[in-house]
Amino acid sequence: MLCGKPVCPILLRYRAFARTLSGIDRIDLAGSSPPGVFIGRFGYPKVAVGPLMTTMHGDTLLYDTPEDWVGRPVDEVVGFRTALVRGTHRVRVTDAEAPIRLVEDLQTLALADASVEVETRFRRPPRGTLTLSDASPPFGPTAPIERVRLDVRRVDARLDRLARDTDATARTAVDELYGRGVQVSRIQRAFSAGTLGRRGRRRFVPTRWSITAVDDLLGLQLKERVRFLPELSEILLWRLTALDNRWFIAFLPGTFRYESIEAWYPNTLWNPGTQEIVMIGDHEGPKGRTTYAGMGGCYYAARLAVEEAMVRSQRQGGALVFREVHPGEILPLGVWNVREHVRAALQRPPERVATLEELLVRMDETFTIPRPRWLARSSLLHAERTQRRLEQFAS
């Protein structure tokens, strides 16, 4: 407890590993895959690919479905991740179209519609590494695989149809799958496993990259719908507290623009070594961005949730997504944490706010960081407070 956090992240990871390692001290394992696949990024363009499996049999879909993790405590989410044993095999990313058994099995697993029974032989018993870096999310034990046998009884027909369509681009496939109601996490899995895109252009995509790539592709597609919607005529506000994160999400009248800012208290994930609050953020106007957001995948995950809400309400406007991260966030959990919690907040009825000044008062009620620091960091709020609109002149 020397770190000052309410729960020790070292002990939390250790206990999660201990539960998993106790049942995998051998090279032959049988169990169930959620289904799940993992594509590493180290050594790119030659990367480690393989299935994710548990030693349990039956329905393990929850273990790799972040859409269903909102409201669950951090130790349960860590338990989901560390319970998944990773088999690894080194391939080139271009081998996504290679006619070898391992690639075919892995891609079939990525298209599965339900949990899959798996039998795996490893080169050595899987081992876990108790990583103490705050930049590394919790993972389960891993080992190189010699062979794997899958019992895929049913694939998702929507994913399978696009996997067979070798004339559709990856962008087209992602858009169509989302339009047909496929969960974002499933689209990301199929994208990562190299099952989408034109013949000759399919690639294995590291899991971390595929998550942000799909969030961005879907966000760009939704923005084309949002920009033709009528404009909001009032200020709407949503607030949420979860996993010691405080969320303040506001929609403002006018055309689409978007800003995401995160404030990290000392002794938190991205601010472990200082005694000062660190704030990071990015924004875009109606024309979007031409560069990658410096704050990374969280920017695109929150933007997707915002655009989904605007499409549902059939109104466009400016969007603020402010997040205050307190020391109770003891471990990095992944980009899903942002996407799914912003989604959850925006599913609630909004608070209606009469003026911008009243919005700022409610910000004071929500956050412990003083208002001037948020105003100094926010480009969108600066414009709202200083830029007059044409209708103001007309009235």
Query: Is 332 a domain residue?
Result: yes
What angle separates helix 170-179 from helix 207-226, to the nearest 10 degrees?
70
124 and 243 fall within a common domain: no
d(CA 65, CA 252): 32
283 and 386 fall within a common domain: yes
d(CA 169, CA 153): 28
254 and 142 fall within a common domain: no
Residue 382's SS3 state is helix
Rg of the chain, C-alpha, whole Å: 22
- Worst-scoring range by mean pLDDT, 20-24, 117-121, 183-187, 311-315? 20-24
Q: How many CA atoms lie within 13 A of 44 on its CB side?
A: 11
pLDDT tens digit string along 78-97? 888 888 999 999 999 999 99
Top pLDDT among 392 and 153 is at 153
**Does a cis peptide bond (omega within 30 degrees of 0) precede residue 372?**
no
Query: Is 25 a domain residue?
Result: yes
Which residue reads 């992240």 in tokens?
9
Give the mean pLDDT of 294-316: 96
Query: Is 313 a domain residue?
Result: yes
Query: Is 105 a domain residue?
Result: yes
Q: CA torsion, points 216, 222, 224, 225, in degrees to nearest 10?
A: -170
Number of domain units in the chain? 2
Instruction: From 121, 155, 189, give the residue that closes a domain.
Output: 155
pLDDT tens digit string along 44-90? 999 999 999 998 999 999 999 999 999 998 888 888 888 899 999 99
Helix (H) or strand (E) holding 160: helix 157-164
Query: Is 194 a domain residue?
Result: no
150 and 245 fall within a common domain: no
What the block records as the tokens of 141 is 């034990």
pLDDT tens digit string along 384-394? 998 877 766 77
138 and 239 fall within a common domain: no
Query: Is 218 a domain residue?
Result: no
Query: Is 256 a domain residue?
Result: yes
* pLDDT value for 299: 97
151 and 257 fall within a common domain: no
Cβ neighbours of 226 (radius 10 Å): 23
Enter the pTM of the model: 0.92
Query: Is 57 a domain residue?
Result: yes
| Strand ranges in the chain using DSSP code E only, listed in sequence order | 28-39, 46-54, 85-92, 116-122, 142-151, 235-242, 245-252, 257-264, 278-284, 318-325, 351-353
d(CA 64, CA 84): 9
String of b and e for 161-183 (b: at least 16 CB within 10 Å)? bbbebeebebebbbbbbbeeebe
Instruction: From 126, 155, 184, give the residue that closes a domain.
Output: 155
Is the pLDDT score of 133 beyond 50?
no
146 and 274 fall within a common domain: no
258 and 118 fall within a common domain: no
Q: Could you tell me the residue range of the domain that residue 261 belongs to?
A: 235-394
For residue 261, name the pLDDT band (cuts at 50, 70, 90).
very high
Instruction: From 125, 155, 185, give the residue that closes a domain.
Output: 155
Specify which residues 117 forms β-bridges with. Answer: 32, 151
* pLDDT value for 134: 44
278 and 139 fall within a common domain: no
143 and 244 fall within a common domain: no
105 and 251 fall within a common domain: no
Is the pLDDT score of 132 beyond 60?
no
239 and 362 fall within a common domain: yes
